[in-house]
Amino acid sequence: MAENLYPSEIIGLPSKGWYYPEGHPLASGELEIYYMTAKHEDILTSRTLIARGVVIDKLIEALIVNKNIKYGDLLNGDKNALMVAARIMGYGKDYDATVTCPACDTTTTHTLNLETLSEKELEFDPKNKGKNEFDFQLPFSKRTVTFKLLTHQDDRDIDNDLEAMKKVVKSEVSTEITTRMKKTIVAIDGSRDNKTIREFVDAMPARDAVAYREYAKNINPHIELKSDFVCPSCGQESRLEVPIDVGFFWPNSRV
């Protein structure tokens, strides 16, 4: 625990620290964060941070005890687990989320117990210890792609690239899928040439692209941000994504 006026708690990471380099502070598989205080709530009310879409990131970054840890280094699955832990520590386990039934489009409030969210069960391969790189043979073309799991900084870079492309290329077609694949794939059949990777992704058969994204998703350590939901209007049973936005940290009981 941190030796200061602010209480803290050590949180286990879904990655178990497996894919961080040896010696990296996150390789322990744990991260210590502060309990939220009124000072941290000041971050949540910042109109500037809300407008920039970074208010939750700034909050979680402020809650990390070890300031030598770069927030951008966190794998996305670990970052999401920290958000859930911070919300429970700050406001409790019950989250009243506004959800829309996929069957009848009825919007309602669904109370979710955040403590029921579970980590994805994974088997960690010893050969990947300390290394964020994975090989996958594409089922159709039989080419081998080497890829990495995205960090928070990778996500920010992708968002910036997409915004920059919007300003240059006026098109109604989003390039998010190929942009993300170009960011995650680091080699094609062992070649790490950026031009080769970009050209290959643009020409990748759709069946290969779908298989690759599914495989990458299945090996990615993360907390399952989904909840069982029964629509009070039509009775439809669904598994819905838990909405993570500014409202996630503003429970109805807050004054």
* Same domain assignment for residues 143 and 194: yes
Residue 156 in domain? yes
Residue 16 in domain? yes
The structure's pTM equals 0.87
Task: Please name the residues in contact with 179: beta carbons below 8 A apart, sequence gap of 6 or more.
Answer: 158, 161, 162, 165
* Same domain assignment for residues 90 and 15: yes
* Same domain assignment for residues 75 and 138: no
Task: Annotate 97-123 with b (16+ C-beta within 10 A) or e (fewer).
Answer: bebebeeeeeeeebebebeebebeebe
Three-state SS string across the chain, please?
A: CCCCCCCEEEEECCCCCCCCCCCCHHHHCEEEEECCCHHHHHHHCCHHHHHHCCHHHHHHHHHECCCCCCHHHCEHHHHHHHHHHHHHHHHCCEEEEEEECCCCCCEEEEEEEHHHCCECCCCCCHHHCCCCCEEEECCCCCCEEEECCCEHHHHHHHHHHHHHHHHHCCCCCCCHHHHHHHHHEEEECCECCHHHHHHHHHCCCHHHHHHHHHHHHHHCCCECCEEEEECCCCCCEEEEECCCCHHHHCCCCCC
Residue 104 in domain? yes
Residue 243 in domain? yes
Tokens matching residue 203: 């020409």
Counting the structural domains of the chain, the total is: 2
List per-residue pLDDT tens for the chain, 255 residues long.
444 568 999 999 999 999 999 999 999 999 999 999 999 999 988 999 988 889 999 999 999 999 999 999 999 999 999 999 999 999 999 998 888 888 898 898 888 889 988 888 888 888 888 999 999 999 999 999 999 999 999 999 998 888 888 877 777 778 899 999 999 999 999 999 999 999 999 999 999 999 999 999 999 999 988 888 888 889 889 888 887 777 788 655 443
Please give the pLDDT value at position 255: 39
* Same domain assignment for residues 55 and 151: no
Residue-number span of the structural domain to which 19 is assigned: 8-120+224-249
* Same domain assignment for residues 213 and 233: no
* Same domain assignment for residues 22 and 143: no
The region, left, alpha or beta by phi > 0 then psi within -120 to 50, assigned to residue 130 is: left
Residue 49 in domain? yes
Residue 255 in domain? no
* Same domain assignment for residues 137 and 103: no
* Same domain assignment for residues 42 and 28: yes
Please give the pLDDT value at position 4: 57
212 vs 145: CA distance, rounded Å = 9
Tokens matching residue 171: 């098109």
Task: Work out the number of other CB atoms within 10 angstroms of the CB of residue 48.
Answer: 9
Residue 1 in domain? no
* Same domain assignment for residues 194 and 115: no
Please give the pLDDT value at position 253: 41
Tokens matching residue 28: 């322990």
* Cα–Cα–Cα angle for 7, 33, 151, rounded to 5 degrees: 175
Distances (CA, A) of 142 to 97, 189, 208: 44, 10, 9
Task: Annotate 220-241 with b (16+ C-beta within 10 A) or e (fewer).
Answer: bbbbbbebebebeeeeeeeebe
188 vs 141: CA distance, rounded Å = 12
* Same domain assignment for residues 42 and 111: yes
* Same domain assignment for residues 111 and 229: yes
* Same domain assignment for residues 86 and 139: no
Residue 112 in domain? yes
